[in-house]
Structure 1
Amino acid sequence: MITHLHTLSGHQNPIYALANSNKTNAFFSAGNDKGVVEWSLDTMSFVKVILPVQSSVYALHTHNDLLFVAQRSGMILVYDLSEQKIKATLSYHQKGVFDIKTIAYKNEIISTGEDGNIAVWSLTDFTLLYHFPVIQNTVRTIALSKDDKEVALGCKDGIIRIYNSEDYELIRELQGHKFAVTAVQYSPDGTYLISGSRDAQLKVWNLPDYRLKENIPAHMFSVYSVVFHPTLPYFATCSQDKSIKLWDSENFKLYKILSLEKNTPGHFHSINKMIWSSDGKYLISTGDDRQVMIWEFTP
């Protein structure tokens, strides 16, 4: 079902961020290095360092021809992949930016991070439209509902805060995790929200009422990423415990554990980030061991 295909080396320090290219069969990685790297999924090899950075990169996000590079410094670089140049620098956050997402129907970008604030930017001219505080410390992750109308924020205090994207009114707070919420994702079919935490649990919240449906003891340590397959009923999780797990997204059955401790190929340090390739053929994982691993998926 899922097998190790390639390990890509080259980064000299831990890797925190991955993003697919929207134009080619390629993806980007970045972390505690001095550059953002492009890799080819056709040749399974290094392509180039596409741009240098001055501080660690905590998040990457692509939208059409644009790559957003969120840094520890609080700066967000907007890089035009077609023109191969920096188009804008977004400056508001005073501390590291941990996540950034596009709200397409409003032509807006939202960002958040260690300062506990949300910043909302125009996708047209990259001006700061507004900003507001969420909590006094870190907001780790952002998820958007299927219609982009609701925004879920995973917070350090263990609470998931749900906002209306039309006016950014706080709709509700989901309390269930004991420690910081480190991953949130809405299911592609729009029927539930799933969250992962430093408490090593996955929680499934029914939509539209956000009633707690499932509590899954998923990992031994922090859950750092939850990613749904783009077309099929599966999702993958990864953790500080150095394992990747593949789940059924309809009944939450565990299909596969990828871990050195289970005598499969795997990472030898914390796994910080995963993405599926755009066509769903590959799962891509990376972390503190400085490796990028490509896993072939055959349903």
Structure 2
Amino acid sequence: MASKIQVQKVATLTGHRDCVYTLENGASPTTVYSAGSDGMVASWDLNQPDTGELVAKVTTSVYALRFVPERNLLLIGQNQEGLQVIDLHSKAIHKSVALPKVAIFDIAYVPETGQVYVGLGNGGIAVIGAEDFELRSMVRKSDKSVRCLAYNKTTNELAAGYSDHTVRIFDATSMELKHELPAHTNSVFTVVYSPDGTQLLTAGRDAHLRVWEVQEKYKERGYVIAHMYTVNHITYSPDGRHFATCSMDKSIKVWDAQTFKLLKVIDKVRNASHGTSVNKLFWSAHQNQLVSCSDDRTISVWDIKFSLDHEDYTLRNQAKDI
């Protein structure tokens, strides 16, 4: 079925002076923010991708950004230097939140609980009030890094992937630990809930993509060896029917979200893709464009087109097992 997807690179965004680690959506489907090793936080318009705009410059590398749409704020995780809250209208610092002097790997903003969760390199999850940006609590269930976070609106649960190879599931309001999922054999770099909240996808340094059934107390449905090396990130398409993975093996892969069949590989040989590790993805509702960033200092914008044949195929073949 791979031939049923048309992939075309429509833009290469340049301007970062070092590895680009993270991407984040903005107020419009055409807006994407990027940050990385050079401490520059840039804003890009997918309608005019040639020029980026500098939003902020911080003194350290940045692994994590999070947009707060209700207040037009951008949360920047400054490694070793805490959380910086930027007012995107004025580009001024709204607030700086002091945190332990460790790496900040991920930020989750959850309006349902009125809280921001920050995954830290010391194994802590900092819980911060989304209104006042005051530190409320620090939850530490491991001394190894919290690498990734995901919120499930349906169950009000927060999933966290750790460098101790474990995924932990918390009640997002009380931060009570509900489940521990120990199946991975190395650090967990990415966790994401399906749009309907029924499945949790996890992956990381062991290159395995694992699928967990949320309503069956996170029983593992199965796994696939998704890439040759570390899986850095997983993201769903806007319609929830597909998801994409990216890896240290320099490739991006597009999957069917129901059958878990691999549909397309995007790489340097076939698509003039990135020359080094692909670190993060952002799948925009704007023309179904997939955005990727890399250690090669560039950001790529991909047009992804699915044919009708493939859509019919997906509906007919809803496999029960991976």
* Fold conserved between structures, TM > 0.5: yes
Matching of residue 26 in structure 1 with residue 34 in structure 2: no
Within 2, Cα distance between the matches of 1:206 and 1:245? 22
- What are the residue-to-residue correspondences of 1:275-294 with 2, within 5 Å? 275-279=282-286, 281-294=288-301
Paired residues in the alignment total 298
Within 1, Cα distance between the matches of 2:108 and 2:287? 21
Matching of residue 247 in structure 1 with residue 255 in structure 2: yes
Matching of residue 222 in structure 1 with residue 227 in structure 2: no
For residues 83-103 of structure 1, the C-alpha deviation after alignment (integer angstroms, 9 at most, x for no partner) is 321100111222010100112
What is the aligned partner in structure 2 of residue 138 from structure 1? 145
Within 1, Cα distance between the matches of 2:287 and 2:184? 30
Matching of residue 211 in structure 1 with residue 219 in structure 2: yes
The two structures, once aligned, show a CA RMSD in angstroms of 1.3
Q: 2:184 aligns with which of 153, 172, 177?
A: 177
Structure 1 residues 34 and 174: alpha-carbon distance in aligned structure 2, compared to 1, 3 A threshold? closer
Within 1, Cα distance between the matches of 2:153 and 2:232? 21
User: What TM-score do you get using the length of structure 1 for normalisation?
Assistant: 0.96
Within 1, Cα distance between the matches of 2:128 and 2:173? 14
Within 2, Cα distance between the matches of 1:99 and 1:148? 21
Q: 2:19 aligns with which of 10, 14, 17?
A: 14
Decide which moves more: 159-168 or 70-79.
70-79
In the TM superposition, residue 81 of structure 1 has moved relative to its aligned partner by 1.0
In the TM superposition, residue 39 of structure 1 has moved relative to its aligned partner by 1.0
Within 1, Cα distance between the matches of 2:245 and 2:29? 25
In the TM superposition, residue 25 of structure 1 has moved relative to its aligned partner by 2.3
Structure number with greater CO (CA < 8 Å, separation at least 6) is 2
What is the aligned partner in structure 1 of residue 46 from structure 2? 41
Within 2, Cα distance between the matches of 1:143 and 1:280? 25
For residues 225-254 of structure 1, the C-alpha deviation after alignment (integer angstroms, 9 at most, x for no partner) is 000012140000000000000000001011
- What are the residue-to-residue correspondences of 1:1-299 with 2, within 5 Å? 1=5, 2-23=7-28, 25-64=30-69, 65-147=72-154, 149-208=156-215, 209-261=217-269, 263-279=270-286, 281-299=288-306
* SS, match of residue 263 in structure 2: strand
Contact 1:161 1:172 in 2 (8 A): yes
Q: What amino acid does structure 1 have at the position aligned with 2:22?
A: A
Within 2, Cα distance between the matches of 1:286 and 1:148? 31
Within 2, Cα distance between the matches of 1:266 and 1:106? 39
Within 1, Cα distance between the matches of 2:28 and 2:132? 22
Decide which moves more: 118-127 or 233-242.
118-127
Within 1, Cα distance between the matches of 2:163 and 2:151? 19
Within 2, Cα distance between the matches of 1:148 and 1:5? 38
In the TM superposition, residue 44 of structure 1 has moved relative to its aligned partner by 1.4
Moved over 3 A (4+): none
Q: What amino acid does structure 2 have at the position aligned with 1:127?
A: E
Contact 1:200 1:222 in 2 (8 A): yes
Q: Which runs of 5+ in 1 are unaligned?
A: none
Q: What amino acid does structure 2 have at the position aligned with 1:254?
A: L
Within 2, Cα distance between the matches of 1:93 and 1:178? 28
User: What TM-score do you get using the length of structure 2 for normalisation?
Assistant: 0.90
Decide which moves more: 226-235 or 237-246.
226-235
Within 2, Cα distance between the matches of 1:167 and 1:278? 33
Q: Which runs of 5+ in 2 are unaligned?
A: 307-322
Contact 1:112 1:118 in 2 (8 A): yes
* SS, match of residue 194 in structure 1: strand
* SS, match of residue 48 in structure 2: coil
Within 1, Cα distance between the matches of 2:171 and 2:293? 32
Query: How high is the sequence identity, in percent, across the aligned residues?
Result: 34
